[in-house]
Amino acid sequence: MSDKINLKIDNIAVSINGGSTILEAARKINIRIPTLCYHEDLCVAGNCRVCVVEQSGSDRLLPACAMPVSEGMEIHTNSMKVRNARKQIVELLVSEHRADCTRCYKNGKCELQELASEYIVGENGFIDLVAHKGYTIDNFSPSIIKDDSKCIRCQRCVRTCDQLQSISALTVAHKGEHMKISSFFEKPMFEVVCTNCGQCVNRCPTGALTEKTYLDEVWSSLNSDRKHVVVQTAPAVRIALGEALGMPAGEIVTGKMVSALRRLGFSSVLDTDFTADLTIIEEGNELLHRLKKVVKDKDDSVKLPMTTSCSPGWVKFIEHAFPEYLPNVSTAKSPQQMFGALAKTFYANKIGVEPENMVSVSIMPCTAKKYEADRPEMRSSGYKDVDYVLTTRELALMIKQAGIDFASLPDDEFDSIMGESSGAAVIFGATGGVMEAALRTAYEVVTGREVPFENLEITPVRGMESIREANIKIENVLPEWDFLEGVELKTCVAHGLSNAKKIMEAVRDGKAEYHFIEIMACPGGCLGGGGQPIPTSPAIRKKRSEAIYAEDRHKPIRKSHENPEVMHLYEEFLKEPLGHVSHKLLHTHYTERNRY
């Protein structure tokens, strides 16, 4: 199939591997064919028909996204026949879509709107179908709003939920005029297996699936004199925020982001990276503790493999799909929630603010974090630990609303005592990063030496391959860890929940033996999170990933346990990892959930 095929598109010759599609061939020679249901991350659906093209000698038009090239084809992407058909298809989609553009959250960012303006869909289109349908909006979820009246049935969300995430919370229901995207028995999203990962939101071309926004709440907190508003920013925000503000993918904008947050009026601009380092200390120690119980004490009430717990989409997934493995999930809270719990206790105390007067906001690449902040367990400070979660996209919107010219902002530094971080925390934003960070610390705790990788870069756990394994032999240990001498630590990293499912099935079926598994719900890890700038693609995620590892390389401190502010926190407040205070503030438990 890989022999070269020669064809002509708009009279330009192109040669491409057999098995490629007309769309791919056209892109190769920079001819843009409009698409809607097509998405680089997903299998081809060929259902919107916006990409139809004409083949000389054939009566019907062909879908460029689904049609393989063949030798000698002559394709026309801009003939009268094609333009007419395309315009009608766009008109049809508009007639089915509540085209309330000026009132829409996706105004200016909607792919249908763009096509409608390109094809000048005017007044004399088709009859409006929306009025007949009695649509309702599902806004019960803390993370995702689903508005069927704006849905154009491209099924990107359905394919995302099924193929990338193996969840199928969203599926197609009914047929004909009643066909729609729905959930199990048409229950609201928050009642079904939806993990809130927001990958569907990230791929929805219109305003049918959007994040639930908390901008108004945050603005009014900022405008209230009585409130001290602290903000934390997740590692993956700083390498993607620029994209939503007109910069190329892969730009590191940490300093500008901090400046912008100060300009927006946040009282303390702090860093989730700080608690990422803290997570490593707690979670790394938990892993060692579990290893000790299992290897040395032969205590079979303690479970291995241990899995990470910082991805709230993953946590909700395992609660639904593999509840029998909940004891295997690290009890350490995610960095966001550790931060929240400390902000309204340790930090509030430090800066002399009453916790009830503190508003804790987080900027996350993630929609599931909105859900996580809402979990009833996440109130260990006695208040809601994190009040509002904004996505990277929402922060970009705030910056625009405030009239800030982001690109020209000077760099600024995070505030102190919960703003310092190591390179290990930065890489939390990429798949494999938590594993690498944990290994950097745990290996050193056990052996007293740095991990045996050049420049601390544990390359086997890096990359974008869907499932990666790495075994690290532990040798010449410190005396108190003698039971680990010669043990080969078996680790596994997976991103995207369909890969998580594979791993868990392998574990369940006894086909895989690991000590430690890192799972991130989203493709690429947090850098590809559901709250990140749209669009996403493998190439964009690669750029973001490169930016993350570059940031790590340039950090003066590379290991979590060397973060001075974290060390200070232990000395002054927590006393010891897995200690009494940690238990109260930094660890949590999980809940078995329904299977639908």
Give the catalytic positions in this structure: 283, 286, 310, 330, 369, 372, 377, 526
Q: Residues 56, 78, 84, 594: which binds other proteins (CB under 8 A)?
A: 84
Eight-class DSSP state of 411: P
3-class DSSP string for 273-335: HHHHHHHHHHHHHHHHHHHHHHHHCCCCCCCCCEECCCCHHHHHHHHHHCHHHHHHECCECCH
Binding of residue 79 to other proteins (CB under 8 A)? no
Binding of residue 131 to other proteins (CB under 8 A)? no
Q: Which of 388, 414, 362 is nearest to 216 (CA)?
A: 388
DSSP states of 448-475? SS--SSGGG--GGG-SS-SEEEEEEE--
Which residues within the stretch 94-113 sit at the binding site for other proteins (CB under 8 A)? 95-96
Q: Residues 59, 123, 300, 509: which binds other proteins (CB under 8 A)?
A: 59
Which residues within the stretch 145-164 sit at the binding site for other proteins (CB under 8 A)? 152-153, 155
Smallest distance, other proteins to C-beta of residue 265, A: 46
Q: Residues 29, 101, 129, 351: which binds other proteins (CB under 8 A)?
A: 129
Binding of residue 139 to other proteins (CB under 8 A)? no
> Per-residue x/- marks for other proteins, 489-528, CB under 8 A?
----------------------------------------
Smallest distance, other proteins to C-beta of residue 539, A: 25
Eight-class DSSP state of 21: B
Q: Which of 386, 408, 360, 391 is nearest to 263 (CA)?
A: 408
Smallest distance, other proteins to C-beta of residue 187, A: 19
Residue placing its CB nearer to other proteins in the complex, 83 or 449: 83
Residue placing its CB nearer to other proteins in the complex, 70 or 357: 70
Window contacting other proteins (CB under 8 A); options: 91-99, 420-428, 480-488, 569-577: 91-99
Query: Using CB atoms within 10 A of its CB, is residue 191 exposed (0-12), middle (13-18) or buried (19+)?
Result: middle
Smallest distance, other proteins to C-beta of residue 21, A: 10
Binding of residue 3 to other proteins (CB under 8 A)? no
d(CA 379, CA 116): 47
Q: Number of residues interacting with other proteins: please give it, by CB under 8 A.
A: 37
Q: Residues 61, 386, 512, 521: which binds other proteins (CB under 8 A)?
A: 61
Smallest distance, other proteins to C-beta of residue 272, A: 41
d(CA 10, CA 54): 10
Smallest distance, other proteins to C-beta of residue 132, A: 8
Rg of the chain over Cα atoms, rounded to whole angstroms, equals: 25
Residue placing its CB nearer to other proteins in the complex, 84 or 537: 84
What is the three-class DSSP state of 484? Answer: helix
Specify the residue for token string 């026949």: 81
Q: Residues 33, 64, 89, 193: which binds other proteins (CB under 8 A)?
A: 89
Q: Residues 48, 99, 343, 442: which binds other proteins (CB under 8 A)?
A: 48
Q: Which ranges constitute the DSSP H helices of 489-555?
A: 497-508, 538-554
Which structure tokens are listed for 341? 């719990």
Share of the chain residues as helix, strand and coil, in percent rounded to the nearest 5: 45, 15, 45
Q: Residues 7, 85, 270, 500: which binds other proteins (CB under 8 A)?
A: 85
Binding of residue 83 to other proteins (CB under 8 A)? no
Residue placing its CB nearer to other proteins in the complex, 103 or 175: 175
Binding of residue 76 to other proteins (CB under 8 A)? no
> Per-residue x/- marks for other proteins, 177-206, CB under 8 A?
xxx---------------------------
Window contacting other proteins (CB under 8 A); options: 63-71, 419-427, 536-544, 564-572: 63-71
Residue placing its CB nearer to other proteins in the complex, 19 or 564: 19
Window contacting other proteins (CB under 8 A); options: 79-87, 136-144, 325-333, 455-463: 79-87
DSSP states of 120-172? T--SS-----GGGT---EE--SSSEEEEGGG-----HHHHIIIIITS--SSEE
Which structure tokens are listed for 80? 């009268």
Q: Residues 108, 122, 176, 248: which binds other proteins (CB under 8 A)?
A: 176
Q: Residues 63, 313, 523, 524: which binds other proteins (CB under 8 A)?
A: 63
Question: What residues contact residue 336 under an 8 Å CB cut-off, 6+ apart?
Answer: 232, 234, 272, 275, 362, 364, 369, 372, 373, 386, 389
Eight-class DSSP state of 196: -
Window contacting other proteins (CB under 8 A); options: 7-15, 125-133, 402-410, 570-578: 125-133
Q: Which residues pair with 54 in a beta bridge?
A: 76
Query: Using CB atoms within 10 A of its CB, is residue 281 exposed (0-12), middle (13-18) or buried (19+)?
Result: buried
Binding of residue 550 to other proteins (CB under 8 A)? no
**Cis previous bond, 535, omega within 30:** yes
Smallest distance, other proteins to C-beta of residue 36, A: 9
Question: What residues contact residue 23 under an 8 Å CB cut-off, 6+ apart?
Answer: 33, 35, 38, 51, 64, 65
Residue type, 463: G
Smallest distance, other proteins to C-beta of residue 45, A: 8
What is the three-class DSSP state of 509? Answer: coil
Binding of residue 433 to other proteins (CB under 8 A)? no
Residue placing its CB nearer to other proteins in the complex, 152 or 368: 152
Residue placing its CB nearer to other proteins in the complex, 170 or 252: 170
Instruction: Using CB under 8 A, list all residues that contact other proteins.
Output: 44-50, 52, 59-61, 63, 66-68, 81, 84-85, 88-89, 92-93, 95-96, 126-127, 129, 152-153, 155, 172, 174-179
